Amino acid sequence: MSLLHLAILLPLLVSLFIPLLYKKIRSVHTGWFVLLVPLTLVAYFSQFLSQTMARKTVVATMKWIPSLDINFTAYVDGLGLLFALLITGIGSLVVLYSIYYLDAKKEALHNFYVYLLLFMTAMLGIVLSDNMIVMYLFWELTSISSFLLIGYWYERERSRYGAQKSMLITVFGGLSMLGGISLLSLLSGSFSIRESLATVGTYSGDPLFTVSLVLFLLAAFTKSAQFPFHIWLPDAMEAPTPVSAYLHSATMVKAGLYLVARMSPIFAETPLWFYLVSSVGMFTLFWGSLNAVKQVDLKAILAYSTISQLGLIMSLLGLGAAALQVEILPDSLYTVATVAAVFHLINHATFKGSLFMMAGIVDHETGTRDIRKLGGLSQLMPVTFTIATIGTLSMAGVPPFNGFLSKEMFLTGVLEVSESGLFHLDTIGLLFPFVAVIGSIFTFVYSILIVYRTFLGPRQLEKLPKKPHEAPIGMLIPPLVLVSLVILIGLFPNLLSNTLIRPAAEAILPKVIANGGTIPVEIKLWHGFNLELFLTVLIISVGTVLFLTLPKWRSLYHRMPKQVSLNHQYDALLRRGERTSTAIHDTVMTGYMRSYLVYIFGFIVILILSSLYFLDAFRFDVNPLSTVHTYEVVLVLVLVGSALSITFARSRLTSIILLGVVGYTVALFFVLFRAPDLALTQLVIETVSVALFLLVFYHMPEISRKEERIKFKLGNAAISALVGLSVTLVALASLSQRSFASIAQYYIDNVADLAAGGNMVNVILVDFRGFDTLFEISVLAIAGLGIYAMINFRKTGGTDK
Amino acid sequence: MEIIMAIAAGILTMCAVYLILSKSVLRIIIGTGLLSHAAHLLVMTMGGLKTGAAPVLKDGVTQYTDPLPQALVLTAIVISFGVTAFFLVLAYRAYQELGTDNLEEMKGTDTHD
C-alpha cells in the first residue's frame, strides 16, 4: 500500500469518523472537518503535475486477489490526474458551499458527509485504477453513493423516485460494463487496461471485441446521461444542490466521459466506436438543449443543460477518434476535437458548477426555483447576479469567457472531421455541423432564459415564499472562485494548455505520440475571420431572435404526446416489471409447504435423472455382489412391507409402531452388514424415538385424512415414486462404477499406529474426524436448546417473553 | 444383496416422500424419520456390503468391511434423532398454539403482518 492508495482511500477512512465528530462536536459544523480532506488531496495530487507534463506516469500496485489477476493498481497519467484534480478541487468548493447550505441543526449532516466522502473515494478510484475489475468496483460505488445522496431527503417521494431511477439506470450500465470487462479480459488475457492496450492488435478482429465495445459504451452512456438514458439526471436534481453541483454536473456524470476517453486507445479505431460515440453525443447535445428551454425549474434547466453539454464533450471524444487513423493521415490532424473535449470538460466544470451553486443560492434565499415566480432579483442579489451572468454567458459561448473558446474549438473539430471524408462521412457528415449549430442556438436561448427570468424582468416578490436577500459570504465564495476561473481561463487559456490539457489529450491519443506526432494545444482567443466565428455570430443572432419570440413558439413543446416520452416509457416498464414479478411470485410462492417440497423433490429428480442420462453415468454391473440368504429376504420384506403400510395407516399408534418396526429392522440389517456399533446405536436411538413419539402423540389429535382428495394422493404418489426410483438408480450406479479406490484402507492400516485403537468406526469418529463429531454434538446441543426454549417460553399477550 | 438393498432403499424413500407431502404434521415427521432410515441404508449399500469382517482389529484378519460409511451413518443416526426430537416438540407446540396439525391451515406467511 503506497501513499497513492492511501490518498484514494483517505475520504473513505475519514468517513468512518464523521458520525463520531458529528455527535461529539455539535458546535462546529461537521463540514469544516470534511473540508480538510479534499484540500489535502488537491495539494497531494498537484505534485504529480510536473511528472505528467513530462509524459511520465506513476504506478503503484497493491496486491489484492493476485490469483485472479485482480490487483489494486493505482495509475496516474495526464487523464487520470485531470479528473483527480477536478474531483478534489470542485470537491473542496462544494464542501465549503455545503457548510452554509445545509443547516447544522436541522440536517442529518453525518449521513450527508459520509455519503459525500464515500463518493469521493469511489470517483478517485475510477479515474486512478488500472485494473478494470477494481475500476468496476469503484464505478458501482459511485452509483450507490449517488443513490444515497439523491435520496438524502428520503421523506420526499420525488427524492426516492429519483434515487431509484438513477440507481436502476446507472447500475444497468455498470453491469453491462462488467460484461464488457469480462469479454475484453478474455480476449486480452488481462484485467489491466495498459496490458490490454499493448496487445490490442492481436484480438481487435474478434467478433466479441465489438460486443465488448458496445457494452462499455452502454456503461458510459448511462453514467454520462446520454440519450436515451438521460432521463435519470433531471430526477436526480432532488438531491441537495451541493450534490447536484458536485456529482451531477462536475464529476460523476463525467465518469462516462472518462471511460470513453480511457478506453479510446483500445476501441477507437473501430468505425462503430466513432459512429456511436459521436452521433449519440451529438444527438444528446441537441436533445438536451431543446428540452432545457421548456423547463421552468432552475435546476431542471441546468440538468438538461448538463445533459446537452455532456453530449457535446461525448461527441468531441468520438470525433477525436478520427485522429487515430494516423496511418492514413499525414500528421496529427484532427486532434483538435480531443483537445476541445478535454478543455470543455474543465470549462464545463467551472461554469456549470458556479451555475448550480447560483441556483442553490436563489433557492436558499427565495424559497423557490420556479422561474415563473422569480424575476428582478438583480438589485437584491447583485453578487449572485454577477455569478449567474458570467456563468451563463460562458455556457452560451459568448466571448471572452472560457465557454466561447471551447465552443469555437468544438465547431472547428466538427467541421474538420465532417469534411475529412474519413469513415465514409461524405453524406452523413454534413449533418454534424448542422446539429451542432442548432444545439448551440438552443444553448444560447436557455442560457439567457436563466439570467433573464431570475434576475431581470418584472419583480414579483409577492410570489416568493421568503423575502430575498444576498446570500452569506461563505456561500458566495465557492461560485466566485469558479467564475474567476471562467474569466481567467477565458483570457489566458494557455495557462492550462501544457499543464492539464496536453497530458490528458496525450493519454487519450497515445498512438499519435507513438507515431511521432504532436498534439498542438495553443488556444487562441482570436482566430481571425473564419467559418467558426461566423457560426458563433449566427448562433448568437438566431438565439436572440428565438429568445425574444419564445412566448410565441413555446407552446410547440406541448404538442409532443405524453405516451411517447421516455419517462413515460420508463415508468411503464417499471410498472410492468413489478406486475410480472408479482404475478410470478404469486404463482410460485403459494405459501403451502407442499408446493415448496414438490419443487425441491422435483428438482432433485430432474437433477439426478438428467445427470445420469447426460453423463452416461448409469451402469449396472452384477459382478462383485454379496450373497443373499433367505432370512435376509424375509427381513427385507418386513422392512418394505411396514414402510408401505405406514402410508396407509389411519391411526397414529399404528404409524408409530410401524416406524418402530422399520427402525428395528434397520438395526438388524446393521448387524448383518458387519456394523455392530451402528446396530447398538440404532437400537438405543430407536427405542428413545418411539418413546418420544408416543409421548408427543399423546397430546396430538388423531391423524385426519378426510380432506385429502384422490388427485392429491396420486400426484404425491407419482412424485415419491420418481424420487424413490432416482435413489435406487443412484445406488446401483455408484455400486457398479468406482472412479477411485475407497480411502478406507488408510484408516484400516493406521488405526492401531496413529490412534492406538481397535474399533475403526470409533476411532474415525473421535480421532480422525474428531471435529465432525464435535459439530455433531453442537447440532444436538442446538436442537436441545431449541426444544427447551419451545417448551419453556410461552407467548403471552402478543409479545414474546 | 446390494441390488435388493438398493431397491429397498428406493421404496423406503418413496414412502418417506409420500408421507412428507401429506398435510398432517404427524405424518410429515414420520416421513422424515423414514427418510433418514432410507438414507442410512443407501449410504451403507453404496459402500458395498459384507466385504469383510466387522471393522474391529483382530489378529489374523486382513479383510474388513469399509468403516467409513459406518462412521458416516453413525453420525447421521444421532443427528436424525436430534432433528426428529426437535420436529416433534415443534409440532406439539404448534398444535398447542394454533389448534391444528394441518399444514394447509397453518399457511399464513404471505399475509402475516
Check CB contact under 8 Å for B78 and A676: no
CB–CB of A567/B82 below 8 Å?
no
H or E element, residue A796: strand A795-796
CB neighbour class for A626 (10 Å; exposed up to 12, middle 13-18, buried from 19)? middle
Nearest to B78 among A656, A693, A776 (CB): A776
Chain-centroid distance, C-alpha A546: 40
Measured in angstroms, the CA of B30 and the nearest CA of chain A are apart by 7
Check CB contact under 8 Å for B91 and A700: yes
Residue B36 has pLDDT above 90, yes or no: yes
CA distance B19 to B30: 7
Nearest CA in chain B to A721: B14
Nearest to A662 among B34, B42, B79 (CB): B34
H or E element, residue A691: helix A676-699
* Cell numbers placing A693: 413419539
Measured at the CA of A156, the angle between CA A151 and CA A162, to 5 degrees, comes to 45
Check CB contact under 8 Å for A689 and B81: yes
* Cell numbers placing A292: 432545457
Nearest CA in chain A to B112: A591
* Grid cell 472562485 in the structure block, residue: A481
**Which is it for strands A58-65 and A795-796: parallel, antiparallel or unpaired?**
unpaired
H or E element, residue A25: none
CB–CB of A389/A451 below 8 Å?
yes
H or E element, residue A72: strand A70-76
Measured in angstroms, the CA of A97 and the nearest CA of chain B are apart by 45
CB–CB of A23/A78 below 8 Å?
no
Disruptive mutation site among B4, B21, B25 for chain A (greatest number of A CBs within 10 Å): B21
CA distance A478 to A482: 6
CA distance A405 to A344: 9
A559 Cβ partners below 8 Å, 6+ apart? none
* Cell numbers placing B97: 398454539
**Which is it for strands A799-800 and A795-796: parallel, antiparallel or unpaired?**
antiparallel
**Domains of chain B, CATH where assigned:** 2-50+67-106 (1.10.287)
Backbone angles phi, psi at A253, to 5 degrees: -65, -15
Beta bridge partners of A799: A796
Produce one character per residue of A665-702: b if its CB has 16 or more CB atoms within 10 Å, e if not: bbbbbbebbbbbbbbebbbebbeebbebbeebbeebee
Nearest to A674 among B8, B12, B50 (CB): B50
Check CB contact under 8 Å for A646 and B91: no
Residue type, B18: Y
* Cell numbers placing B62: 486382513
Nearest CA in chain A to B33: A659
CB neighbour class for B97 (10 Å; exposed up to 12, middle 13-18, buried from 19)? exposed
Check CB contact under 8 Å for A594 and B65: no
Eight-class DSSP state of A462: G
Would the CA dihedral through A262, A267, A270, A275 be positive or negative?
negative
Nearest to B9 among A655, A701, A731 (CB): A731
CA distance A463 to A670: 92
Disruptive mutation site among A644, A680, A728, A773 for chain B (greatest number of B CBs within 10 Å): A728
Check CB contact under 8 Å for B1 and A626: yes
Produce one character per residue of A580-616: b if its CB has 16 or more CB atoms within 10 Å, e if not: eeeeeeeeeeeeebbeebbeebeebbeebbeebeeee
A192 Cβ partners below 8 Å, 6+ apart? A69, A73, A130, A131, A132
Helix (H, G, I), strand (E, B) or coil at B22: coil
Q: What is the DSSP secondary-structure string of A276-321?
A: HHHHHHHHHHHHHHHHHTT--BHHHHHHHHHHHHHHHHHHHHHHHG
CB–CB of A456/A374 below 8 Å?
no
* Cell numbers placing A511: 498512438
Nearest CA in chain B to A595: B21
Q: What is the dihedral of CA B36, B41, B46, B49, to 10 degrees?
A: 160
Nearest CA in chain B to A645: B15
Low-confidence residues in chain A, pLDDT < 70: 325-333, 420-429, 527, 562-563, 622-624, 702-708, 794-801
Domain residue extents for chain A = 268-548, 592-739, 742-801
Predicted confidence at residue A705, as pLDDT, reads: 57
Nearest CA in chain B to A676: B54
Predicted confidence at residue A428, as pLDDT, reads: 67
Predicted confidence at residue B113, as pLDDT, reads: 40
Best CA proximity match to A258, nearest among A512, A513, A504: A504
CA distance A505 to A498: 10
Check CB contact under 8 Å for A728 and B10: yes
CB–CB of A456/A382 below 8 Å?
no
Nearest to B50 among A626, A640, A761 (CB): A626
- Cα distances (Å, whole numbers) of residue A15 to A1, A65, A114: 19, 25, 5
Check CB contact under 8 Å for B89 and A728: no
* Cell numbers placing A633: 429376504
Q: Which residues of A touch B110 (CB under 8 A)?
A: 589, 591
CA distance A402 to A349: 11
CB–CB of A31/A111 below 8 Å?
no
CA distance B91 to A698: 12
- Cα distances (Å, whole numbers) of residue A770 to A267, A784, B71: 58, 21, 11
CB–CB contacts below 8 A, A to B: 271
Nearest to A724 among B10, B33, B51 (CB): B10
The CATH number, out of the four listed (1.20.1440, 1.10.10, 1.20.120, 3.30.70), of the domain defined by the range A592-739: 1.20.120
Best CA proximity match to A505, nearest among A523, A491, A518: A518
CB–CB of A169/A232 below 8 Å?
yes
CB–CB of A768/A755 below 8 Å?
yes
CA distance A639 to B16: 13
Report the half-sphere exposure of A580 (CA within 13 A, side-chain side).
Answer: 6
H helix runs in chain B, sequence order: 2-20, 25-46, 67-98, 103-106
Predicted confidence at residue A254, as pLDDT, reads: 92
Q: What is the dihedral of CA A347, A353, A359, A360, to 10 degrees?
A: -170
- Asked, as a colleague might, if the bond just before A228 is cis with ω within 30 of 0, I would say yes
Three-state SS across A238-268?
HCCHHHHHHHHHHCHHHHHHHHHHHHHHHHC
Nearest to A720 among B18, B55, B58 (CB): B18
CA distance A396 to A539: 9
Best CA proximity match to A252, nearest among A152, A354, A142, A327: A142
Disruptive mutation site among B12, B107, B112 for chain A (greatest number of A CBs within 10 Å): B12
CA distance A683 to A662: 11
* Cell numbers placing B17: 416422500
CA distance A163 to A625: 68
* Cell numbers placing B82: 436430534
CB–CB of A131/A181 below 8 Å?
no
Q: Which residues of B touch A786 (CB under 8 A)?
A: 86, 89
Nearest CA in chain A to B42: A731
**Which is it for strands A58-65 and A70-76: parallel, antiparallel or unpaired?**
antiparallel
Disruptive mutation site among B7, B63, B74, B112 for chain A (greatest number of A CBs within 10 Å): B74
Q: Which residues of B touch A742 (CB under 8 A)?
A: 47, 66, 68
Residue type, A729: L
* Grid cell 415508468 in the structure block, residue: A571
CB–CB of A509/A335 below 8 Å?
yes
Predicted confidence at residue B110, as pLDDT, reads: 47
CA distance A652 to A700: 9
Beta bridge partners of A75: A59
* Cell numbers placing B92: 406439539
